[in-house]
Structure 1
Amino acid sequence: MTATGATPSAHPEHPGRTDGVSNEFTVFTKIKPGEADALRADLTWLGDAANDENVHAALRQIGTLHDARHVIFDNDTRFMFASVFDGSWDTYIDDFAKTVVGERFDKVFAHSEGFPGIKDPGVKDWFLAHQEPAGVFVSAYPDLTVQQIYKDHRVDDAFQEVLDTPQFRAALDNPANAELLATPAFQKLLEEASA
């Protein structure tokens, strides 16, 4: 973990902190009077819909979102959306508007005062007016993009499958491979695979 703390954004035209390739995005809004229960119901729906394959496909298509949180607070008067993403803030907002995730944003943020809609040309100005940078932002993996994490996961799955085959066991027992097996790099690979 890198303890870089509150590093100014690599995109100074927008508030937010960075740690390596990760950026934080936190928005605070006022909930329209009388709409907290409707927002809560929509957040419940959103949580249930998060298991929808279309949402996961959209998030893979966007390919920059690490995580996101939605919170109602201050006695049901305020709402917070916070996320961590890779790359440009502008691209991040644009990408959401192009997928089913944007429709879900519209449904949830419609309960916030003044929200123009995710496809509205003024939505970025609205987000900027409601965004607050974190005082400290630290990532456990500051040098890994979402795409790199996806790839690492795929490679790990494939490698674990190889480790479980009888052919791999036979290769480990083959004296012809003794020199390769004795290298520090191969030993480290086996150690990491068994951790």
Structure 2
Amino acid sequence: MAGMPGSTSSAQPERPGMRDGVCSEFTVFSKIKPGHADALREDLAALAGGSSDVEARAALRQIGTLHDARHVIFDNDTRHMFASVFDGSWDTYIDDFGKTAVGARFDKVFSHTEGFPGVTDPGVKDWFLARQAPAGVFVSSYPDLTVQQIWKNQRVNEAFQAVLDIPEFRAALDNPANAELLATPAFQKLMEEAAG
């Protein structure tokens, strides 16, 4: 795609995949090695639970850009789909998997697919690009919120909900000295949101 006169080119090449606000979609279709569907299914089941879940959640927090991900085996156990939604650049997203425990999980799952070079291999981006199919439509319910912002909002909400439950807060609501603050539209909206 040609740039506008006077514009600067990005250090990263343009990558496939649709964006909605800060969110990008990533969908990869790969061929399962003959005879590997059951092993892939077992590895996916192991990823879905067990004691390694704590490690995976910690790695996902370390990456900090993954909204959701899913794996699907289809076409009579001959094909595999990985689809996810993430924040930031495609290249950084792929690089981040190789830096955490998620990379080992990717290697284990994708080892059952044809030609996968390994998540830390310099050719892994080309492998993904050759198998990536951009969505025809991609919509996010919260296009302007990154994973980091969602986590922060959750922490703030949990803290605020805890404050609502302490007697000191209830006493402050009844204190005439706070009447002006309590009457502001912003405070009223905050209390309505907390109740809803």
TM-score norm. by structure 2 comes to 0.92
Superposed, which structure 2 residues align to 1:8-27 within 5 Å? 13-27=14-28
| Distance (whole Å) between structure 2 residues aligned to residue 65 and residue 49 of structure 1 | 21
Aligned-pair distance for 1:166?
0.2
Aligned-pair distance for 1:41?
0.7
Number of residue equivalences:
186
One-letter code aligned to 2:121: D
* Counterpart position of 1:6: none
One-letter code aligned to 2:45: T
Unmatched tracts of structure 2, length 5 or more: 1-9
Aligned-pair distance for 1:12?
6.3
**Residue pair 1:19, 1:142 contacting (<8 A) in 2 also:** yes
Q: Say which structure, 1 or 2, has more relative contact order (CA 8 Å, 6+ apart).
A: 1
Superposed, which structure 2 residues align to 1:112-131 within 5 Å? 112-131=113-132
Local SS of the residue matching 1:151: helix
Aligned-pair distance for 1:49?
4.5
Aligned-pair distance for 1:180?
0.9
* Counterpart position of 1:132: 133
* Counterpart position of 1:79: 80
Structure 1's 56 and 50: CA in aligned 2 closer, same or farther, altered over 3 A?
Answer: farther
| Distance (whole Å) between structure 2 residues aligned to residue 50 and residue 84 of structure 1 | 25
* Counterpart position of 1:5: none
Taking only aligned residues, the RMSD between alpha carbons, in angstroms, comes to 1.4
Unmatched tracts of structure 1, length 5 or more: 1-9
Q: Does 1:30 align with 2:31?
A: yes
**Residue pair 1:49, 1:55 contacting (<8 A) in 2 also:** no
Superposed, which structure 2 residues align to 1:44-123 within 5 Å? 44-49=45-50, 52-123=53-124
Aligned-pair distance for 1:47?
0.8
**Residue pair 1:21, 1:144 contacting (<8 A) in 2 also:** yes
**Residue pair 2:30, 2:81 contacting (<8 A) in 1 also:** yes
Local SS of the residue matching 1:82: strand
Aligned-pair distance for 1:13?
1.8
| Distance (whole Å) between structure 2 residues aligned to residue 102 and residue 50 of structure 1 | 17
Question: Between the two proteins, what is the percent identity of the paired residues?
Answer: 77
* Counterpart position of 1:165: 166
Q: Summarize deviations over 1:26-76 as a string: whole Å, max 9, x none.
A: 000000011111111111111115862111111111000000000000000
